[in-house]
Structure 1
Amino acid sequence: MAQTRSDSLKTAALLFLVVLIAPFIVNCFFAYPQTDDFMFSVASRDSGFLKAQYDTYINWSGRFTSTALLSINPLVYGSLTGYRTVFAVVIAAQIASLYLLAGALTRDVLSRRERVLIALALFFAFLDQMNDVRSGLYWMAGVVTYGVAQAMMALWLSLVLLLHQDRHRNTTHLQGGVLLLSLLLGGTNEIALVLTVFGATLFLWFRYRATGRVGLFHVGTLVAALTGGSLAALAPGNFARMSGQYHVQRDLAVVAWDALQASLASMAVWVTTPLALMLMAAVFFAVTGRPRLRAALSGVTVPSALLILFLVMFTSFLVPYWATGSYPQNRVLNMIYFCFLAGWLILVAIIAAGAGEAVVGSIRNVCSRRWGLLTAGLAALFSIQSSNAVMVSRDLASGLSYRYSKEMEQKQSQLTQDPCDVCTVRDVVNRPASLYFTFLNPDPRHWANRGYAAYFRKSNVLLATDQAGRPLQ
């Protein structure tokens, strides 16, 4: 009877999380391409895939994995529906990668339903409190560069853990997957590059500590990560872009101090959000209540896990500070938050696994179910004021996302059918807060105009204005 009741509660929780995540997925199908989406698509469409890779690598960026994916995105082939579907696919891939990670961390002690529950809960907390949902979910350039990298990193860690834990799973296929991901992750973005090299180094070190020797595969993983990272970091396009956009020369000590302050401040904020506190409590009691789960998580000490999490956070902030001399952009913060949330919950699980029976018993006596439900309810109320889920649901329920989609499709139809060489387009009336948006400018030299013009094969596309220079709607 108790088991049946527990299963029913888990099923209800799963359905509730699906309902909470569903608006984010539905909103994908009202997004519209902006800025870099057009530019990457035009480069591949007009020059060909290989030429686009070469030009980007030489003149703009060393992110060879992200560039390759952007060069085959559905916009290249004129599919707006495919463009929108990609966002939903990436969301599904991130959830699937977290599901695999939950299984690898707990050594399959959890049931499939429990792993799905963990993956959905963690991912909803990320969605709801991420810094910028617009560039994180509904902008192709941001999603491919950072969202895909997040899924790849979780998959990489899952495969590494599985290979380390179980000899029967140490197959050529899994090893090949780790090596390939180690190489490709360096070409997604700079944070993934550094964290993959860091993770491969830790993998090598822990293997040596455990066995007293280092295998060829472990060395190969680090070599693959370094190779991918070198290909990305040493690309001529990086230096060309840096010289054109950033003229920052700062002392390493200053950069490190800024990164340290930013990482500590961000962790203090993120760890005290209501959803994070709820997840921490759920993870702690789930682990302490199951001896097998505690045993599965007992391999890493709390100081080691805490040090690793701190280094991951510090490094994640150090990279953008070193590259640009400023605080990370919103889409970068999204990825850092994703890494922190997953890492923090893993740390909480490790702390719970190391807690003694006396400690566990006293905490469970104090924290009764009644107080737990009251705390969860209050936390949910406090989280509403900064909830992305509320914002996205509001845009959908009001019809604003739908009207925006129709308005943008109408403007696309106008540009496609109008024979004008230099076209003018009226300003956008409907602007959902949840969807990424950077529109045209009256200045014919503005960079956003170039993307629209090139994609629709025009000499230029301008924002229509009245005689006073005010945008016309």
Structure 2
Amino acid sequence: MKNMRISTWFKNPDNRLILLILAFSTLLLPFIAVSFFTFPSTDDYCHTLAVKDLGYWGYQEHYWKTWSGRYTGTLISATQPLIYESYTGYKIAPIVLLIVYVHAFIYFVRAFTLDKLTRWQTGLFAFLLLFTMLAEMPVISGYFYWYTGYYYTVADIGTLYFFGYLFRNYSKISRTNIAAMCFALILLVGMNEYTLVWLVILSGSLFFFSSITRKRIQWKELILALVALTFGILSVTAPGNFARAESGLYPTPLKYDLLFSLKNSFLWSIHNFTKMAPTLCLLTLVLIPYAARMYHSRQKNEFRFLFIHPAISILIFAGCLYLSYFPSYWSIAEPPNLRGQCIINFWTLLGWIFNVFVLIFWAMEKHDIKIITHVGVYKWVVGLYFLLLYSGNFNYRSAWSDLLTGRAKRYHEEMISRTEMVLNTKDYQIYVPKLKNLPYTILMPTGDMDPAWASVEKNNGCAEWYFGKKFFYK
């Protein structure tokens, strides 16, 4: 009788939504809570000082010529709260990003499924995507808590909204839709080189294969492809990219070595994909019934974006994934940094989802294969796996640990004490206490360097330049 009451309670849609709200809250709680202890670090001080010295637009010109072609990224990194002497902004920003990140996933899922799923199913879909992404991030700190790196995070959020808008309007794209998507492409391509690679290839593939399938040039898709390609070239050929590559920061003879870049891009893409594979495979057990339901509930001209031959879709996905690593190996002979890998993992997740649905639609359309529309007993397997993943995953464990042990709070107190000491000391040379508390959730690991204020000899000494003093750590 008790089991029957539990089963009846769970079948109630309102009760299921309550469970989802609790699940989202539990997932986000430690990450939002530790946001209150975030502090500016490393490059945040450099960008603040540059904007103060050069002005907002002077800063854009300077970085375009000397460091980076990420024309949208520099617009973001130049909005440092420290420019206005605000430390509170560094605590508010990650909270806002986390909340918007959740909304972006929900928006994406609703558009991708064209609202064919129930509210409970849509929420669960979005929750599993968010859960997977947070678990598979190689570094949480540089993605959500480092202000200078927000052009990575904002790019992924913008990508979710972009594709959500595209899927929602795909059956009948108007001129207004094209204009809006072109504007979005211009902004997204200028965020970072990883987003650039994916969007340029995907928009070009959309035009090429749409034209081949319909046996005539698809002008709207061509416009999107040309916009992405034009601004991609503009970003890649910026003088700042060349200046950074030749700056001496990466003094290796393997730069611009084609064979080295091709080989290592392939090996590293396989290496990182296999890390995500177990979680993606378990996630697929939930996606397959959802795809089958969507196929059966479709109306005329709906889900046209999923009716593509899986060989083409998988080839494009694999090609994009491989090429994501090439720019890094080509320019600096190293794999992408951890923040860049976060973006690659993000695209891997989206690409995997898309291909699962393409395969299911193709199997049901071309071969009339009967596919289950309910997870059935597999839901317990999936549930157990994600529960074990949550309890053992470093990102989730460290977030709770940083919060509950007080490590994040003590770190914040140390940084306040450091800052006050520097501001109140007139001497040029200052002995700064080494950090005793290193919360991995909000502070990027830097080996033997000080993760918050590196010295002049290490990591350019941004804090030293900002405060105009020389630090020695004791």
Which range, TM-score by smaller chain?
A: 0.7 to 0.9
User: Secondary structure of 1:197's partner?
Assistant: helix
Task: Spell out the pairing of 1:204-223 with structure 2 (5 A cutoff).
Answer: 204-223=207-226
Q: Distance in 1 between matches of 2:45 and 2:274?
A: 38
Q: Distance in 1 between matches of 2:397 and 2:157?
A: 25
Is structure 2 residue 181 aligned with structure 1 residue 178? yes
Is structure 2 residue 51 aligned with structure 1 residue 44? yes
Q: Name the residue aligned to 1:88.
A: 95
TM-score, normalised on structure 1?
A: 0.87
Pairs aligned (count): 453
Q: Name the residue aligned to 2:340.
A: 332
Task: Spell out the pairing of 1:361-440 with structure 2 (5 A cutoff).
Answer: 361=372, 368-369=376-377, 372-374=379-381, 376-378=383-385, 380-381=387-388, 384-437=391-444, 439=450
Is structure 2 residue 321 aligned with structure 1 residue 310? no
Q: Name the residue aligned to 1:445.
A: 456
**Which residue identity lines up with residue 48 of structure 1 in the other structure?**
G
Q: Name the residue aligned to 2:289.
A: 285
Is structure 2 residue 304 aligned with structure 1 residue 301? no
Q: Name the residue aligned to 1:350.
A: 358
Is structure 2 residue 453 aligned with structure 1 residue 454? no
Seen in structure 2, the aligned counterparts of structure 1 residues 374 and 226 have a Cα distance that, compared at 3 Å, is: closer
Is structure 2 residue 237 aligned with structure 1 residue 234? yes
**Which residue identity lines up with residue 194 of structure 1 in the other structure?**
V
Is structure 2 residue 171 aligned with structure 1 residue 165? yes
CA contact (8 A) 1:440 1:448 kept: no
Is structure 2 residue 472 aligned with structure 1 residue 463? yes
User: Secondary structure of 2:88's partner?
Assistant: helix
Seen in structure 2, the aligned counterparts of structure 1 residues 41 and 207 have a Cα distance that, compared at 3 Å, is: same
Seen in structure 2, the aligned counterparts of structure 1 residues 443 and 233 have a Cα distance that, compared at 3 Å, is: closer
**Which residue identity lines up with residue 73 of structure 1 in the other structure?**
Q
Q: CA deviation at 1:399?
A: 0.9
* Larger RCO, structure (CA 8 Å, separation 6 or more): 2
Q: Name the residue aligned to 1:146.
A: 152
Seen in structure 2, the aligned counterparts of structure 1 residues 411 and 2 have a Cα distance that, compared at 3 Å, is: closer
User: Secondary structure of 1:360's partner?
Assistant: coil
Q: CA deviation at 1:408?
A: 0.8
Q: Name the residue aligned to 2:5.
A: none
CA contact (8 A) 1:186 1:193 kept: yes
CA contact (8 A) 1:30 1:401 kept: yes
**Which residue identity lines up with residue 305 of structure 1 in the other structure?**
S
Is structure 2 residue 371 aligned with structure 1 residue 360? yes
Q: CA deviation at 1:29?
A: 2.1
User: Secondary structure of 2:63's partner?
Assistant: helix
Q: CA deviation at 1:445?
A: 3.5
Which blocks of at least 5 consecutive residues in structure 1 are unaligned? 465-470
Q: Name the residue aligned to 1:63.
A: 70
Is structure 2 residue 227 aligned with structure 1 residue 224? yes
User: Secondary structure of 2:79's partner?
Assistant: coil
CA contact (8 A) 1:441 1:448 kept: no
Q: CA deviation at 1:160?
A: 2.7
Q: Distance in 2 between matches of 1:265 and 1:293?
A: 38
**Which residue identity lines up with residue 316 of structure 2 in the other structure?**
I
Q: CA deviation at 1:45?
A: 1.7
Q: CA deviation at 1:187?
A: 1.6
User: Secondary structure of 1:423's partner?
Assistant: strand
**Which residue identity lines up with residue 93 of structure 2 in the other structure?**
V
Seen in structure 2, the aligned counterparts of structure 1 residues 92 and 222 have a Cα distance that, compared at 3 Å, is: same
CA RMSD of aligned residues (A): 2.8
Q: CA deviation at 1:224?
A: 1.9
Q: CA deviation at 1:114?
A: 3.8
CA contact (8 A) 1:294 1:352 kept: no
Q: Distance in 2 between matches of 1:60 and 1:440?
A: 22
Q: Name the residue aligned to 1:200.
A: 203
Percent of pairs with identical residues: 24
**TM-superposition CA deviations, 1:108-137 (whole Å, max 9, x none):** 323455434322321121112211112122
CA contact (8 A) 1:97 1:154 kept: yes
User: Secondary structure of 1:271's partner?
Assistant: helix
Task: Spell out the pairing of 1:266-277 with structure 2 (5 A cutoff).
Answer: 266-273=272-279, 276-277=280-281
**TM-superposition CA deviations, 1:416-445 (whole Å, max 9, x none):** 333333333211111112222452799963
**Which residue identity lines up with residue 155 of structure 2 in the other structure?**
A
Q: CA deviation at 1:448?
A: 4.4
User: Secondary structure of 2:206's partner?
Assistant: helix
Q: Distance in 2 between matches of 1:400 and 1:61?
A: 35
Q: Distance in 1 between matches of 2:165 and 2:178?
A: 8
User: Secondary structure of 1:72's partner?
Assistant: coil
Seen in structure 2, the aligned counterparts of structure 1 residues 440 and 335 have a Cα distance that, compared at 3 Å, is: closer
Seen in structure 2, the aligned counterparts of structure 1 residues 227 and 396 have a Cα distance that, compared at 3 Å, is: same
Which blocks of at least 5 consecutive residues in structure 2 are unaligned? 1-7
Give the counterpart of 1:190 among 190, 193, 197.
193
316-325 or 374-383, larger mean C-alpha shift: 374-383
Q: CA deviation at 1:392?
A: 0.5
Seen in structure 2, the aligned counterparts of structure 1 residues 271 and 431 have a Cα distance that, compared at 3 Å, is: same
Seen in structure 2, the aligned counterparts of structure 1 residues 349 and 44 have a Cα distance that, compared at 3 Å, is: same
Q: CA deviation at 1:53?
A: 0.9
Q: Distance in 1 between matches of 2:223 and 2:172?
A: 19
Is structure 2 residue 260 aligned with structure 1 residue 254? yes
Q: Distance in 2 between matches of 1:178 and 1:358?
A: 36
177-186 or 280-289, larger mean C-alpha shift: 280-289
User: Secondary structure of 2:226's partner?
Assistant: helix
41-50 or 246-255, larger mean C-alpha shift: 246-255
